[in-house]
Amino acid sequence: MVNTGGRPARLNLDRILDEAREIVAADGVEKLSMRRLAARLDSTPTALYHYVRDKDELLAELIASADLHIDAAALPEGGTERLVALCERMHRLFVAHRWAIPVLATGVAVNARGAWLTNEILTALTERGLTPSEAFLAHETLWYFTAGHALLAHRHRRHDAAAPPHYTSAPQARGLAMIEELAPVSGDLARDYSFTTGLRHLLDGTLPRERGA
Amino acid sequence: MVNTGGRPARLNLDRILDEAREIVAADGVEKLSMRRLAARLDSTPTALYHYVRDKDELLAELIASADLHIDAAALPEGGTERLVALCERMHRLFVAHRWAIPVLATGVAVNARGAWLTNEILTALTERGLTPSEAFLAHETLWYFTAGHALLAHRHRRHDAAAPPHYTSAPQARGLAMIEELAPVSGDLARDYSFTTGLRHLLDGTLPRERGA
DNA sequence: ACCTGAACACCGTTCAAGT
DNA sequence: ACCTGAACACCGTTCAAGT
């Protein structure tokens, strides 16, 4: 338990964050605890409190120092396809760092690469004809949908064995015409649905134009 | 600690769920623990495991037995306004039962009233011109946005005192034109943004029509 | 300044034992 | 069948004490 040669005994924020990142990558955030982290660093849980105020601050530091490598060169040059590609990048980052989403929602600072992505999306929106203010509002909607999808789109039950059909013909669906109609095909339809499906809804609208508009 | 008259000693699922609901309503889900729940029932944590397999099942039962009173009479009769009103109802339910959202995402069964609301939204979508399959896909998008917004739209930091402006002019924003331009007004714009703003984006599209389309 | 050890106030879950 | 008590394997955080 006591440090004897080899690894340096003294802590610093970088060592703490590196080790924390390793735990999250290998076992998920749910396995990141002050106690486990300290043990991995041959230290004590309480020693960590000299470097971060609490666990929330540790998570915020983890996000601020995250390596968000975005390959800007691979993006389409302009138009709607660039916007779609940027949103897909954002979605992929969120899926990879799902645990960070609720922390981001509290308003913690992102790093330069995260800010760059936001700026690119805002720019792409204005290039498609929105004013800066409209682009801001559109980005809010994109954020909620993208984060929501990244966070919630894995119907993995812990028990109950095989995944049930999306809409069941269970007793509570009796007499509900649309659900009864969709029940047999909802599984296939759900498989067709992707983040990009929803993204297109968001950009182009889900409803047909009102006649005369 | 031991039961002496007054309340009945024997447990049953209804008593357990009622007490659990009271804890969640009064103190939030984070305060709902098997131990606290058992103590409130003058019982032991382990006794609860005769009625539910684990805590996840307790939460699923809580959702299945939730009282989702939806005032159908107060809804507009038809058209887009009915659809908007239904989605706003769904949003309000999600905000009131925020803790249930991640559980719902795993695919647990909702009760008859929840199924009714889904059916009404699907019906409203078809009445606006979508095929049943298109309505299903549109409902998926609505669900992710609505759940995402309900879950993530409260920028409440635990520390750092006053809420910071939405887009800061922090070092990481240097040279990012749109963020720098929006920084001074982002606070006001964020205040203007509501669930309904995003909902309209979703239904009507955020982008202007391509010319010639 | 940096770190330890003990302590406080908690968790979910299993399992053998009692009635 | 229904319930208890002890136990296992954990949590985040505070605080007095050591160097």
Whether residues B53 and B103 fall in one domain = no
Judge whether A195 and B138 are in contact, CB under 8 Å. Answer: no
- Is B8 domain-assigned? no
Per-residue pLDDT, A5: 39
Distance from C-alpha of A51 to C-alpha of A31, rounded to nearest angstrom: 20
Low-confidence ranges of chain B (pLDDT < 70): 1-9, 155-165, 209-213
Residue carrying the six token digits 């060169």: A73
Whether residues B194 and B89 fall in one domain = yes
Which residues in chain A have Cβ-Cβ distances shorter than 8 Å to B125? 206-207
Measured CA B127 to C1' D12 distance, in angstroms: 53
Per-residue pLDDT, A157: 65
B 48-67 residues inside an 8 A Cβ radius of A = 53, 56-57
Distance from C-alpha of A111 to C-alpha of A93, rounded to nearest angstrom: 13
Give the one of B53, B172, B182 whose C-beta lies nearest to A132's C-beta: B182
Whether residues A79 and A115 fall in one domain = yes
Q: How many CB atoms lie within 10 A of CB A155?
A: 14
Q: How many CB atoms lie within 10 A of CB A89?
A: 19
Whether residues B60 and B76 fall in one domain = no
Judge whether A85 and A71 are in contact, CB under 8 Å. Answer: no
Long-range contacts of A42-45 (CB under 8 A, 24+ apart): A42/A1, A42/A2, A42/A3, A42/A7, A42/A9, A43/A11
Whether residues A42 and A77 fall in one domain = no
Burial (CB count <10 Å: 0-12, 13-18, 19+), residue B44: middle
Contact A107 B147 (CB under 8 A): no
Most B CBs within 10 Å: which of A206, A209, A210, A211, as the mutation test of the B interface? A206
Distance from C-alpha of B152 to C-alpha of B139, rounded to nearest angstrom: 19
Asked which of A23, A40, A65 is the last residue of a domain, the reply is A65
Whether residues A40 and A111 fall in one domain = no
Whether residues B91 and B19 fall in one domain = no
Whether residues A52 and A88 fall in one domain = no
- Is B5 domain-assigned? no
Residues spanned by the domain of B165: 72-206
Query: End-to-end CA distance of chain A, in Å?
Result: 73
Nearest CA to A202 out of A139, A109, A112, A126 is that of: A139
Per-residue pLDDT, A9: 54
Chain B interface includes A123 (CB < 8 A): yes
Most B CBs within 10 Å: which of A53, A207, A210, A211, as the mutation test of the B interface? A207
Per-residue pLDDT, A6: 42
Per-residue pLDDT, B78: 86
Q: Tokens in use for B30?
A: 């984070």
- The answer to whether A116 CB sits below 7 Å from nucleic acid chain D is no
- The CATH number covering residue B45 comes to 1.10.10.60
Report the number of distinct structural domains present in chain B.
2
Asked which of B24, B39, B65 is the last residue of a domain, the reply is B65
In eight-state DSSP terms, residue B5 is S
Contact B152 A205 (CB under 8 A): no
Cα torsion B134, B139, B141, B147 to 10°: value is 180
Whether residues B111 and B196 fall in one domain = yes
**Nearest nt by C1' to A1 Cα:** C4
pTM to 2 decimal places: 0.92
- The answer to whether A39 CB sits below 7 Å from nucleic acid chain D is no
- The CATH number covering residue A126 comes to 1.10.357
Distance from C-alpha of B206 to C-alpha of B202, rounded to nearest angstrom: 7
Per-residue pLDDT, A1: 37
Q: How many CB atoms lie within 10 A of CB A42?
A: 15
Q: Give tens-digit pLDDT for A1-27.
A: 333 434 455 899 999 999 999 999 999
Whether residues A32 and A79 fall in one domain = no
Q: How far is CA B123 from the centre of its chain?
A: 21
- Is A6 domain-assigned? no
Asked which of A65, A83, A100 is the last residue of a domain, the reply is A65
In eight-state DSSP terms, residue B110 is P
- Is B183 domain-assigned? yes
User: Strand, helix or coil at A126?
Assistant: helix
List for chain A the helix, strand, coil content (%; round to 5).
60, 0, 40
The nearest CA of chain B is from the CA of A40 a distance in Å of 27
- Is A133 domain-assigned? yes
Per-residue pLDDT, B213: 43
Distance from C-alpha of A91 to C-alpha of A147, rounded to nearest angstrom: 7
Whether residues A82 and A39 fall in one domain = no
Residue carrying the six token digits 């949003």: B91
- Is B2 domain-assigned? no
What backbone torsions phi and psi does residue B88 show, to the nearest 5 degrees? -65, -35
Q: Look at residue A172 and tell me whether its pLDDT is greater than 90.
A: no
Which protein residue lies nearest to nucleotide D4, measured between its Cα and the C1' atom?
B44
More confident residue, A201 or B171: A201
Judge whether A167 and A179 are in contact, CB under 8 Å. Answer: yes
Q: What DSSP letter does each residue of B70-94 carry, written as one string? A: --GGGS-SSHHHHHHHHHHHHHHHH
Judge whether B156 and A106 are in contact, CB under 8 Å. Answer: yes
Per-residue pLDDT, B212: 43
Measured CA B112 to C1' D1 distance, in angstroms: 32
CA B10 vs CA B13, B19, B42, B51: distances in Å: 10, 14, 10, 12
- Is B20 domain-assigned? yes
Query: Mean pLDDT for chain A?
Result: 90
- Is A134 domain-assigned? yes
What backbone torsions phi and psi does residue B162 show, to the nearest 5 degrees? -65, 145
Q: Tokens in use for B52?
A: 């539910």
Whether residues B126 and B158 fall in one domain = yes
Q: Give tens-digit pLDDT for A153-169.
A: 986 666 655 556 678 87
